[in-house]
């Protein structure tokens, strides 16, 4: 479940005030997977020449949804939503298909690189991978099923 926290944080960093689509892909071990999504990301993404910037993007941790209430409850608990109700992505800069920003999850801040490509008029598809262990998230394991320490995030955002 610690991967879920990282995923949630990563997801919000890639969206702005418009209704954007963010999908966090969580692999389970020994087998399986699930996705967490949010379209309630706050902040503004601005075009900057051929690239884009964002000063502060954030999402309420409890607005990341997996489609199953009990899993959402466990996910939010492992992301320490009660103590840290927001996941933030600050100082975002991107150009020429690559970018970086500072992701804050569980009160831990880390630089996160990402790649992006055009996804149509005024939209981009951004992708990155995060490691929950780097954000001091406790390992999640329920009935022998755990979360891997690598979570992929895909975000479609309007710029």
Contact 14, 155 (CB under 8 A): yes
**With 0-12 CB in 10 A as exposed, 13-18 as middle and 19+ as buried, what is 155?**
buried
Domain boundaries, the chain: 2-158
Q: Residue 3 above 60 pLDDT?
A: no
Q: What does the pLDDT read at residue 6? A: 46
Q: What does the pLDDT read at residue 33? A: 93
Q: What does the pLDDT read at residue 62? A: 92
Q: Which pLDDT tens digit goes with each residue over 4-50?
A: 444 444 444 443 334 477 778 889 999 899 999 998 878 888 888 88
The pair of three-digit structure tokens given for residue 143, joined into one six-digit string? 């009935």
Provide the CA 125 distance to its chain's centre, in angstroms.
13
Supply φ then ψ for residue 150, to 5 degrees.
-150, 120
3-class DSSP assignment, residue 109: strand
Q: Other C-beta atoms within 10 Å of 116: how many?
A: 22
Q: What does the pLDDT read at residue 80? A: 92
Contact 16, 41 (CB under 8 A): yes
Q: Which pLDDT tens digit goes with each residue over 51-89?
A: 899 898 888 889 999 999 999 998 899 889 999 999 888
The pair of three-digit structure tokens given for residue 97, joined into one six-digit string? 């298909």
CATH of domain 2-158: 2.40.128.110
Q: Residue 133 above 80 pLDDT?
A: yes
| Comparison of pLDDT for 95 and 10, the residue scoring more | 95
């Amino acid at each position: 479940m610690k991967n879920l926290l990282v995923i949630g944080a990563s997801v919000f960093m890639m969206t702005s005030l418009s209704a954007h689509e963010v999908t966090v892909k969580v692999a389970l071990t020994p087998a399986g997977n699930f996705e967490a999504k949010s379209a309630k990301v706050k902040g503004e993404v601005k075009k900057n020449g051929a690239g884009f910037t964002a000063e502060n993007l954030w999402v309420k941790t409890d607005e990341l949804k997996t489609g199953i209430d009990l899993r959402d409850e466990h996910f939010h608990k492992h992301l320490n939503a009660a103590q840290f109700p927001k996941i933030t992505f600050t100082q975002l800069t991107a150009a020429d298909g690559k970018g970086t920003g500072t992701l804050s999850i569980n009160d831990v801040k880390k630089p996160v690189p990402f790649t992006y490509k055009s996804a149509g008029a005024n939209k981009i598809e951004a992708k990155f991978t995060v490691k929950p262990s780097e954000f001091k998230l406790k390992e999640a394991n329920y009935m022998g099923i755990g979360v891997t320490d690598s979570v992929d995030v895909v975000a479609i955002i309007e710029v």
